[in-house]
A and B are shown apart, each in its own frame.
Chain A
């Protein structure tokens, strides 16, 4: 149901909802960016709609709400283990259409691939998603190529225009709270084109895995893993045990974000590693995002947010890489015929 209301009314509704939910949205952190005088936009708690950064793309995705950077799985002492408590409150997450598609990729890994992940599910079940529209495409976005520019799978859509708020609600709690508001059809803003367009090769022959094509990336990539950490669909983690310095018998097991670009990702006990070459790590990631994930789960993993291109300190463009790979696949096919 669509509604028109005011920011004051909406803030009052969120104030009420905040008794049961922590509200997360992209916020501008002034001067907190990588360089001097550069802001960063990342997720944080909000209490007022004015805190939300609607005008620009967030540098980081919402994924840390469902998959914290470091998450305690359980506490141990001697032979006892205790599962870490879930947060007392649920979460409300403001996010854009591409990221909402990213949520489906996280669901595929954490709910469908093998056993259901206890920690992900308990957060996921208690999270509501509020769509933020995109009036214009941002730099490096290629959501239209990935088919993620629109989504209906939201609990609500919300648009702020001055003092007016437009809401499309799929959530009964919100419907009840907005019962007195003016009803009006609300259609989420979405883009129909991006400056960046990618063409994904249907199949990539395995012979191209060793192509000199990847060496260029090997020379440029510094294995910092930032592309993985900003990506809403990168969900890998590594286990980490810690113990307390005041009591060495007690501690906790955590999982922390992992990156397939960073050294150590494939290292086994004894020292054997499977992808030491950074170009091969790029190949592994690219193939996962736009090739092998689809063969397993039916959709491409990449959702076209372009954050990896935004963040790379070496100016490596993932979108460019896909297009160049497509050209390479076509050229190779022509040569073979």
Chain B
């Protein structure tokens, strides 16, 4: 179907989504696919789009990759909207609104030693950071990616890992190994004590994952000697609007959709739901 000029361009009404073409679908697991969508405009890792499916609703999905005229949205089939996306994406377009949120600012991590700890789909919002430093290894003093998945079947971005491992130190672990798996097991926090970080006072840590994983990881990184101001987190909340109106994502005086989802830990530690 030809996309009309009208609905592929952004409306002045922030609630009206625009049509975006699905140019590729990368299937990671049975329930996690990356949809490569056409998008022309500025976008940062960690920002998110509201993926909009008339009749079913909207879901905030973070940007897991940025290409020339495209953005990647890694979607987990876990609710009403995403179930429908998986079943009917052959329609080759999706409606989007966004990008929303502040996202990660690569400049905060340049020329630093970087530790990125991600849990499961928490890797999506930070994948753009890994992509960047994998392509520009000289822009940092070292990059370690510590990532945990539930099981070998739940691994995401397998092809990207093949590229990343050339320039990046990767520690991957799974909670539940199967008989064919011979890598690391256990929670990501088990691997923090043995991490070799050269300059702890300057090293930056980025932590994204389920709430409990972020809490434990941050606690361990602080114990290891990371400074609070060098730690960054990204939060996930229910969001109906993405533009500071619906109220669902508000914590204290902070709107995750406007002021986040990325926070320096000096601010993030005060976010109590």
Chain A residues within CB distance 8 Å of chain B? 73-74, 76, 79-81, 83, 109-110, 113-119, 206, 209, 235-243, 248, 251, 253, 255, 258, 260, 265-270, 272, 274-275, 280, 284, 287-288, 292-293, 295-296
A101 to B76, CA, bound (A): 43
Contact A235 B245 (CB under 8 A): yes
Q: A206 — which chain B residues lie within 8 A by C-beta?
A: 270, 272
Segment of B54-62, B65-73, B183-191 in the binding face? B54-62
A44 to chain B, nearest CB (A): 26
A296 to chain B, nearest CB (A): 4
Partner of A114, one of B78, B80, B244: B244
Contact B7 A80 (CB under 8 A): yes
B56 to chain A, nearest CB (A): 6
A236 to B240, CA, bound (A): 10
Contact B57 A113 (CB under 8 A): no
Segment of B13-21, B138-146, B196-204 in the binding face? B13-21
A115 to B76, CA, bound (A): 28
Which are the 7 A-B pairs with shortest beta-carbon distances? A269-B79, A114-B244, A236-B247, A274-B273, A113-B244, A292-B253, A76-B54
Partner of A293, one of B56, B210, B253: B253
Q: A275 — which chain B residues lie within 8 A by C-beta?
A: 273
A81-B7, A269-B81 known; A251-B16 Cβ under 8 A: no
Known: A265-B238, A270-B76. 6 other contacts (CB 8 A): A79-B1, A237-B245, A239-B240, A258-B248, A266-B273, A272-B210
Q: A284 — which chain B residues lie within 8 A by C-beta?
A: 273
B158 to chain A, nearest CB (A): 23
Chain B interface, number of residues (Cβ within 8 angstroms) = 48
Contact B240 A109 (CB under 8 A): no
Contact A238 B240 (CB under 8 A): yes
A79-B93, A255-B240 known; A243-B258 Cβ under 8 A: no
Closest B residue, CB atoms, query A75 = B54
A253 to B54, CA, bound (A): 7
Q: Mark B244-265, 1 if CB is under 8 A from A, else 0.
A: 1111101011010110000000
Closest A residue, CB atoms, query B8 = A79
The yes or no answer to B224 lying at the interface (CB within 8 A) is no
Contact A266 B270 (CB under 8 A): no
Contact B14 A118 (CB under 8 A): yes
Contact A270 B238 (CB under 8 A): no
A268 to B248, CA, bound (A): 10
